[in-house]
Amino acid sequence: MKKLTEYRYFRHVLFFAVGVALLALDHKTWSRFVQELTLLDVSEPVWSLLRGIGEAIIIAVVLVVAFDEATKRRFLEGVIKDASGHLLGSLLPPKLSQHITTQFLRTELVRKDWTIEYTISEWEGQRDYIKLEMLSTYTMENHSAFPQDYTCYYEVEQSLLPDMDKATIEEVSGHNPANPHERFSYLSKDSRYQDGKVCTLPGKITFRHDVKIPGHKQPSDPLPSYSFKVRSVECFYKASIVPFFAKHPVLSTTLIVQYSENKMDVFVDLSFDAIEKYLPRPAPPHGKEWNLDQKPMLSGQGFTVRFAPKS
């Protein structure tokens, strides 16, 4: 990369020198020199054209040097976005083509990785109900040259069973790997968290926290990112289905389910591929792990986990 940068600087200096040389051409002096050397009489318009080319070269070099890489990337992204809507899906109805372009082709934020771990166990003192503990960790990357706002949003459904404990969002935290001081943290037992991000609504509890992920300035730089962690506890009937769908594209997903194989059957279904392609492997202490990395998970795609007591 260093050699490539040095080559670019050398190329800029060389072109600038050529431009200066052409701009400095004097018609009378160089006409006499060329005529003596080649016996050709070069007219004034030709020399004016050469000086114009020199001037254009100098302007081009100045523009290349003046505009940094991030500015050029922003310009290219704008051109690509404007053109993509006309090139892709041009044979589809405009309403459908516009939706596809907006939903899938103009995505700046991408989950680099996502690990979801479910721990399924009997609710203490309630054999007919299941305690579902969820741990989610992921890293969100900004592939755009512009800063992007991202909302860390999570919700859990309140139990429909009046005799059971309430569902809880136990923990939510996030940090910028490039800036250790840029972070936030919420614990359900911490009464000091008073910024109004947790809301109890009819039938659900929600958490919301907004962060800004910087733009990607240089192609050689690591992608700006923000890492998140979420823990929650919910109550389900002993035979239930738990859906999980992505709002943003995911490059690599890992699903871990901890459960007692002697007491329960667990089934995983994917909306974006056949689950048979992904053989689970043991996940200590007593679970299974699926690495769903053969295909990216697009917005709106996901998986479901079904569980039921052994018959």
Tell whether the model's pLDDT for residue 152 goes beyond 90: yes
- Which stretches of the chain are assigned E, i.e. beta strand? 109-123, 126-142, 148-157, 168-176, 179-187, 198-201, 204-213, 225-237, 240-245, 253-258, 264-270, 281-283, 287-292, 302-309
Tell whether the model's pLDDT for residue 288 goes beyond 60: yes
What is the rounded average pLDDT for all residues in the chain? 80
The CATH code that applies to domain 110-309 is 2.60.40
Q: Residues 83-119: pLDDT tens digits?
A: 555 555 566 677 766 666 666 666 789 999 999 999 9
Among 99-113, 159-173, 282-296, top mean pLDDT goes to 282-296
Decide: helix, strand or coil at residue 91: coil
The structure's pTM equals 0.69
Return the higher-pLDDT residue of 59 and 176: 176
* Residue 80 structure tokens: 């690509």
Confidence grade of residue 1 (pLDDT, cut at 50, 70, 90): very low
Tell whether the model's pLDDT for residue 195 goes beyond 80: no
Confidence grade of residue 47 (pLDDT, cut at 50, 70, 90): low
> How many of the other CB atoms lie within 10 Å of CB of 129?
20
